[in-house]
Structure 1
Amino acid sequence: MRRRAPAAVLALLLAALGAQCALHALVSAPPAPAAALPAAPPAVALRLASLGDGPAAARAVMLYLHAFDAGIPLRELDYGHVAGWLDGALALDPRSRQPLVAASQVYAAVQDPARVRVMLAVVERAFAADPAHRWPDMGQAALVARHRLQDMALARRYAQALRLHAPGAPPWARQLELFILEDMNELDSARAVAGALLASGTVDDPNEIRFLEGRLRALEGAAAHRTRGQMR
């Protein structure tokens, strides 16, 4: 006597098959150039449609997204929808850097500060979830905030997150906050950061130690000079 599969299992299989077909139909035909980028499906639907092959589904999602930016100017894309597709691709394949590289280097190149901020927020969320592997993208986000947006406070926030949460990042990334504070003329804060890096125990390279000690002495000298000038 044959045993029938439970109805719930059958329903789940049918739903997965339908989602897979829908995703395939979505990404197999590039959109017309004038088409508007739709909102991304919920993450659970994307995972269901992947049928266990998250990396392949993530690549398909990125191909679908790039079909839009190839057809219309970036400033005409709905960046809220772009962020949703990038988040979805990253959820399907957390090890891939492609969505974050696209966010910080492709879509953040648009000449629209509001849209750039949406892309930097994608990177910031992703970095918070996995700072050990996503520090390069956070470093790029800090540089974009510093040089493209001219938003020193935002650049400092990203650089501070790098220093505090990515101790395995290379020296330039962990010292980025120090340079940004010097650009802001926040010498006392820069001196505190240099001291914190030296005291953290994460700096063991002699060259890096000498560099930080030199910066600390220079900052202390600059602070003393400023104090003498204020007292005159």
Structure 2
Amino acid sequence: AQTILGVNPFPAKDAPTRLFSAYGLGWLLNDYLGRKVVSHGGGLDGMISQTAMMPEENLGLVVLTNSETGINTIVQNKIFDVFTGAPKRDWSAERLERAKQTKIKQAEEDAKLVAARVANTKTSLSLKDYAGNYVDQLYGDATVGEENGKLVLRFVQSPNFVADLEHWHYDTFQIKWRPSAAYNFPRGFVTFTIDKMGKTDEMKIDQPNNDFWFYELEFHRSK
């Protein structure tokens, strides 16, 4: 093992007898009912997979799905239970209840965002003055353009990532992803900072997501 991992509440519920969890040579390493498991998930838009091995049982499996739910690990755990003779457990019912609770929490968090919106504010600049090329040293370029009376955000290196920007409050705009993004993003925002000369200096992206870490990007306007 190269990296020791902590156990958060969800895996603890899935495997209450777990003794270790680690990462090594590109694989997740842990134990399930006293047996070592080597596994890793994978995913693209609209599909998630799971590859897992339980060497002591001479067992290996691959789960391919056309879903973005957690069914990949549900199938994995069910197969493990059958091969190890574990007590019967309704993984689908457990995960469904967890998904319902997650949706409730997400709705509550979204309601807080809406409640915190400041009404009747205006932008500091005209829309055309937000338009331009913004650069992150790691990612590269993103452009903001005025199209048909509204701002449009485009990630140059990821042409499917296109979003309309709708004014939220002050110099913050809500991100409205176009269908080409093909990802179920929650509510996200772009905030522009204005320099002492009254021009946009930085574009900050607040878009929660587990796969694309937008918060690490630091887009500054091209000089």
Shorter-normalised TM-score: what interval? Answer: under 0.3
More strand by share: 2
Greater C-alpha radius of gyration: 1
Normalised to the residue count of structure 2, the TM-score between the two structures is: 0.20
Normalised to the residue count of structure 1, the TM-score between the two structures is: 0.20
More helix by share: 1
